[in-house]
Amino acid sequence: MIVAEDDEKSAKKEETAEQEQAAEAEERAARSTTRQAQAMSGLFNRLMKSTPKATPQGGDRPLEFRQYSGLAIPLSLVIFGLLHWALKVFVYDGQPHTFLFISSFALFILAGFALAGSLERSRLSIALPMFIFMVWYSVYEGNIDPGFLAVFIPVAGAILFLPLLLTKGASAKPELIGLLPVLFFFLDLGLLPWLAEQFHWAVTGIIESLIVWTPWWAYFGVFTLPRKGWADVLKVIGVLYAVLLLVVPTTDFGHQSAQLPGFTELSAAQERVLQKIPKGENKAKSRFICLLEEPTNVEECFQKRQEDSLIKDICENDEQVDTGVLTFTECESRERERLQQEQIQVQGIEDAAIRQPTKAEFKVSDYFPQVTYRRADEDTTTTYPVDLKMDNPRELPLRLTFSCHFKKQGSDSTETNVSGTALPEQLTVNGKTTRTTLACTPDESLDGTYTLVYEALIIDGLQTHSRLKRAFIGEKTLSWKEEWIPKIRQAHFPGQEHLSKAPEEFAHINFAFGKTLEDPIIEQGSTLFLAATIENNFPNGKIISYDYELDLERLSSYVDNPACLRGSGTAPASDSSRAIYLPTCILTDLPPELGEDLGDELYLTKEFKATLSYQYAVKKEIRDVKVQVVQS
Amino acid sequence: MKLLPVVLVLFLLMALVACSSGPGDRLLQYNFKQGFNGLQFRLVENAPPQEVYPHADFTIIVELDNQAAYDVRDVWVRLLGFDEQYFLLYPPEQVVDDLAGRSLTAPGGDKRFVEFEGTSQELFPGAEEYVADYFIKVQYDSEMEFSDTLCVNPQLYAVYDAGCQVEEKRYNGQGAPLAITELEEVISSGTGVEFRLLLENKGRGKVKTATVGRARLGNDPLECEFSASGVDKRKQVFRAEEQEATVLCRKAFVGGQNSYTTTISVEFQYEYELVEQKELALVK
């Protein structure tokens, strides 16, 4: 009996233990399921939303947004952004370079991370629009064809809409914010210089500061730093820098529309504009020093410091000073006089009616021998070909000569040159389009890394015409002028039509005359002022010599200084990118047909032509041409 | 039953009378001297064509259509703003014969066509096109007559005068772009009455000058002048931005008159100008 009771008890114990085990197993399974569900939910939340909420049941720690420490990435962006800017402005001198493009792209990716961390948003929400835009811009080259957009936009929309749907609209803001790095990417590549060229902004003041002295990625990094004491100080410094830099007069804006530019176009525009902007002291630094030294006279102090630094920079790099033709002091006097002349700004715009300008372009083919090898005991030389494409729509009889040489930078910053022989040496162009291959052979064996410089000198036949419109109203009553001058301005001189126009060729003349250079309405009895400048359009080229003629027809008899209408000269060798100021003159009267003969009712418009005949040198530099010597 | 034919005949007569008044009769009743229409002009289609090629002849034809109720005289048509380097026009201005206004004899108004012959020149070297903006300016002299029936009450405070009521009036034009739009009557008890007429330009162009002509109140002459004019009070020079003026007409009372209804009529002569901007393209 006792044994049976014991057996029963042990059986019951076993049953209880089994039940307990089963219950435990169930509990474990339930906990595991809950954990898995929480993990999935947490993962989803991490991808789509901001910091997810803690799970309602206890046990597991709430998921935290740990991807970004909030400091490392933005700080890297600041430091590398500053380095990138310094390289761009001081080392590469504004010229486009593959390395700069790659570093800008890397900073672009970093900026996405920094932005996500700063705003505590998910990477995906911010990265999506960045990715879609870059695919459209780089893979599809910014295609705006309606047929293509009809497919691309719905697909892109669906991709962007999906997170919106899943997060119930919470990802809308991050997706929009994701376009900020795209904007900064374009700004760094050269969006502002491109806009300045397209809309003919006068590149002075605020525009110059934004183009030259603004480290865009560093700024982006500063404002994505987390809220810590020293990071806030950096932000304040950033704001102060912007205030000191940008407190300058604004410029007038142009009106033309433009198409979407590619990377190359942006970089080229940046290079061209940076070449034209004279280097001087950092404006923020000038302003800061003046605030300390002359707090009651900041503006005048600032202007003087800028002028002095500009002149110093020009004369330090002046060829005539280097060769001893001019002393430094003489150069300074010459530049001060030139700056005074530059107060007479003669502006011009591109002639939109001339859609095919004369131009020349060097193109490096894919088969260019960028890297070659030779044995040490051999004196073999490689021939380096490059294509020259010449557009000559007006079929001018052009004659060109070619030359080339190889530049090598030594370890002690000295430069050595190896001359080359270019073939053909000369070329005559008559047709509308000419393509030819130029070959450069070094005159001696090369060893190392060189920059190959091709130069095409157009020595004969090159001409560019400019035109300027004016309205002659004769002698009219005040009420006629009050009524008709606004009408004439609106009809004949909308936007910048009062400026002279020229095609975007190698160089051109800007000219203007009137009561003021900007006023296109010519009245009987006014004294008229005439001024003209020759401008070089391309930083990779230079004007060698020029002849100019301003055809004012019957007005030519009324100028006090005939030298302002025609003359010739050679361009200053020191700075080929600056304008050449031609003599000015005064017109004291008008011929009767442009004056009193117009009576009480009539007015007429007239276009005047200026012709620049010049010799021009076009240069092409091909960097990193390597010849490696192999020991036999 | 006997009356039925009579009624039928009467009904038919009435119907005949009512329905028989055709356009001619309506025209007889129509008052052309209302509204603000004036001389209008437009370019005849394809004259000039939208685009002209270098060294080509072309014609610019301006159609003038007088929709005012008055004749227009000394009509000048001018083409302004062409650059002779691109377009030669001969002559650049022409004078046109008078155009009759709308009336019973010419209900549609008078029309004229003015032709300008032109030749295009060469484009600027390298240019693909040149777009010339120009103005067509039409200038003319015309007249306008304002008349209305109104009440004159010399005795403002008469209690037992059961005559007419003086009221301020508004008008919808007299068939010309220059129009009297309001009339206000100001009575100085025992002295006289002053009529203040608001003269406004309601057309698309600009009025240059206006002169007050003959003015009568009933059979008596009325002295009218502009409220803000120069030496000659009967002539007003209008500025481009101010195209209205007030005309003051005064009449003295002959003692002890009661209120009465009479007609007022004032004639105006004016110079008017219409300007329109056009463009002509010279293409390669």
- Alpha-helical segments (H) within A447-505: 478-492
Q: Mutate one of B135, B207, B243, B271 to test the A interface: name it (highest A CB count within 10 A).
A: B135
The rounded distance, in Å, linking the Cα atoms of A558 and A549 is 16
Chain A CB within 8 Å of residue B127 CB: yes
Give residue-wise pLDDT tens across range B123-160. Answer: 999 999 999 999 999 999 999 999 999 888 776 666 55
pLDDT band at B122 (very low <50, low <70, confident <90, very high): very high
Cβ within 8 Å, pair B126-A488: no
User: With 90 as the cut, is the pLDDT of residue B74 above it?
Assistant: yes
Cβ within 8 Å, pair A607-B240: no
Chain A residues touching residue B124 (CB < 8 angstroms):
351, 353-354, 465, 467, 607, 609
Q: What percentage of chain A has pLDDT greater than the value 90?
A: 28
User: With 50 as the cut, is the pLDDT of residue B96 above it?
Assistant: yes
**Which residue in chain A is spatially nearest to B138 when comparing CA positions?**
A601
Distance from CA of B91 to the nearest CA of A (A): 12
The residue type found at A464 is T
Q: Pick the more confident residue, A95 or B102.
A: B102
Helix, strand, coil distribution of chain B in percent, nearest 5:
10, 50, 40
Chain A CB within 8 Å of residue B135 CB: yes
Residue ranges of chain A with per-residue pLDDT less than 50: 1-3, 37, 40-41, 43-44, 47-68, 248-259
Query: What pLDDT is attached to residue A343?
Result: 60
Chain B residues touching residue A487 (CB < 8 angstroms):
135, 275, 277
Chain A CB within 8 Å of residue B85 CB: yes
Cβ within 8 Å, pair A606-B81: no
Cβ within 8 Å, pair B85-A606: yes
- Among candidates A353, A603, A606 on the partner chain, residue whose Cβ is nearest the Cβ of B128: A353
Distance from CA of A493 to the nearest CA of B (A): 10
Chain B residues touching residue A355 (CB < 8 angstroms):
128
Give the DSSP per-residue string, A360-403: EEEE--TT---EEEEETT------EEEEEEEE-TT---EEEEEE
- Among candidates B135, B139, B240 on the partner chain, residue whose Cβ is nearest the Cβ of A482: B240
CA dihedral A327, A332, A333, A336 (to 10 degrees): 160
Best CA proximity match to A281, nearest among A383, A368, A212, A369? A212
To which H or E segment does residue B213 belong? strand B206-217
Chain A residues touching residue B276 (CB < 8 angstroms):
none
Give residue-wise pLDDT tens across range A238-282. Answer: 777 777 776 544 333 333 334 456 666 677 667 666 655 656 778
The rounded distance, in Å, linking the Cα atoms of A90 and B2 is 121
Query: What pLDDT is attached to residue A246?
Result: 66
Query: What pLDDT is attached to residue A282?
Result: 80
Give residue-wise pLDDT tens across range B150-209. Answer: 888 776 666 555 677 777 889 999 999 999 999 998 887 767 889 999 999 999 999 999
Query: What pLDDT is attached to residue A402?
Result: 93
**Which residue in chain B is spatially nearest to A393 when comparing CA positions?**
B126
Best CA proximity match to B28, nearest among B111, B110, B107, B146? B107
Query: What pLDDT is attached to residue A493?
Result: 95
Give residue-wise pLDDT tens across range B221-276. Answer: 999 999 986 788 999 999 888 999 999 999 887 656 677 888 999 999 999 999 99
